[in-house]
Structure formats: C-alpha cells, structure tokens
Structure 1
Amino acid sequence: MNKHDNRHKQAIDEPLWWGLFSAGGVCFAVLLPAVILFIAVLLPLGLLPAEALSYERASALLFSVPGFLFVGAVVCLPLFHAAHRLRHGMFDISVGNDSINKKLMYGGAALLSIVALGLVVAGFLG
C-alpha cells in the first residue's frame, strides 16, 4: 500500500471525527458554562433554593433518560473534542504514528464515554 492509498483510507472516517469534534466543541462552549454558573456561582451565593440541587433531586435527574443525554452532551462529546485536538496536535508536531495515535485518542474517548454512560445506566437501573 503506497502513501496515496493510506491518505485515501484515512479520509473516509475523517468527517466522523470532525463531526464529533464540532459537536463536542459546541456542547463544551454552550452547556458547560451554564453548568458552572448554576453549580459554582448561583447555588453558593444563595440565588437558587438549596433544594434545587439536593441529593435526591440531582440523583433523580441524573439517573434518567434526560440525565443520560446530559452526560452524553456534557462529558462524552467534549471527550471526543479533546481527543481530536490531541490527535491533530500530535500529528502537527510529528509525535508517534498517526494511525496509532488515532486509535489511542478516539479509543480512550470511547472507553471513557462508555464508563460515564454506563455509570448513569447503572444508577438508573439500580
């Protein structure tokens, strides 16, 4: 397999990674500041009622279908965003083999996503 064939093979899955990168960046830029605002600013300042994020209410929200979607948007998509940035950064400075880096970065993001979503499902079922 020559160098041209390898580039063509990589180009097939590249739109998937760029799509996950874009979605993760949007979720990171839009949803995470809102989460930080509510949990780290408004709640400690007493601008939200204390029971708004009580353990029982937060647990019920997290371990549900909307919680599953929330974790997917706030945790999993930014993981793929970070993996894509790291992979292309390593490619730009010529660290390692790109095909191995791709497997490590996206595989790590997928594994951490499965763990995060699995914990939500386990809490939902248990």
Structure 2
Amino acid sequence: MQSNYHVDRTPARSDEPIWWSLFGAGGTWFAMITPITVLVLGVLVPLGVIDADALSYDRVVAFATTWIGALFIIATLALPMWHAMHRVHHGLHDLQCHVGLAGKVVCYFIAALISILAIIFVFMLH
C-alpha cells in the first residue's frame, strides 16, 4: 500500500532552533529566577527581612564584577528580552500582521541590542 504522504529528504535549513532555544532559555529564566530576584529586591529588603547593608553599593559592585555576578546580570537582562521579542514576532503573525523578514530582523535586533548593552554595562564595571 502506497502512502499519500511525501517526506522531504532534503529539507531547507531553518534558523528557528536558535530563536526557540533563546526563547526557551529566556522563558525559563523569567519564570524561575526573576520572581526570586523581585521577592528579594522588591519585598524582603524594603520590609527589613534582609538587611539593606547586605545589598550596599560596594557589595553589589563586588558581586557584579565576579564572573558569576556578570553572567547573572547579563542573563537577567538579555534572556527575558529574547523570550519577549520571540513572542512579539510570533504574536504579530498570530494577529495576522505579517511583517515578514523585516519584523523578524527588528525583533531580534532589539533583543541582540539589549544583550550587547548588558555585556557592555557589565564590562564597564570592571
């Protein structure tokens, strides 16, 4: 019995796995790390549960200038932006606003720009 389904033996290469991996990493970071950061910086410190001196300028700069601190700051700024811009790009398509390649370039350019600015910011601290 012959199937009516055709399997493309030479599919065109796609860049979607790159964007989906950044989308997934950004969504995971935003869902798991951002709430803890907001809880600590936006609730526990102002309420006095955590001593404000623990987050003094000198201590924060000392943390930010370590490699783990630098990666934390870059990831906190860059990954959720990749997630958001991927959502915007595909959300426009879902809303029947077909912006084509230009929309894709603009969305991912914004995410890349924020990522580069985060890296520059961290290196300016050194």
Question: TM (normalized to structure 1)?
Answer: 0.85
Task: Provide the secondary structure at the position in 1 that maps to 2:33.
Answer: helix
Unpaired runs of 5+ residues, structure 2, are 1-10
Is it true that 1:17 corresponds to 2:19 in the alignment? Answer: yes
Distance 1:61 1:31 in 2: 17
What is the one-letter code of the residue matched to 1:28?
F
Distance 1:44 1:14 in 2: 42
Larger Rg: 2
Distance 2:73 2:46 in 1: 23
Distance 1:23 1:38 in 2: 22
- Percent identical residues: 41
**Counterpart residue number, 1:100:** 102
Match 2:46 to one of 29, 44, 47: 44
Distance 2:119 2:32 in 1: 20
**Counterpart residue number, 1:77:** 79
Report deviation, 1:46. Answer: 1.0
**Corresponding residue pairs, total:** 116
1:47-66 matches, within 5 Å, as: 47-66=49-68
Question: TM (normalized to structure 2)?
Answer: 0.85
Q: Check whether the contact 1:87–1:98 (CA below 8 A) recurs between aligned residues.
A: no
| Over 6 Å off, 4+ runs | none
Bigger proportion of residues as helix = 1
Task: Provide the secondary structure at the position in 2 that maps to 1:12.
Answer: coil
Q: Deviations over 1:5-33 (max 9, x none)?
A: xxx65x61001111110100000011111
Task: Provide the secondary structure at the position in 2 that maps to 1:75.
Answer: helix
Distance 2:37 2:50 in 1: 13
Distance 2:70 2:64 in 1: 7
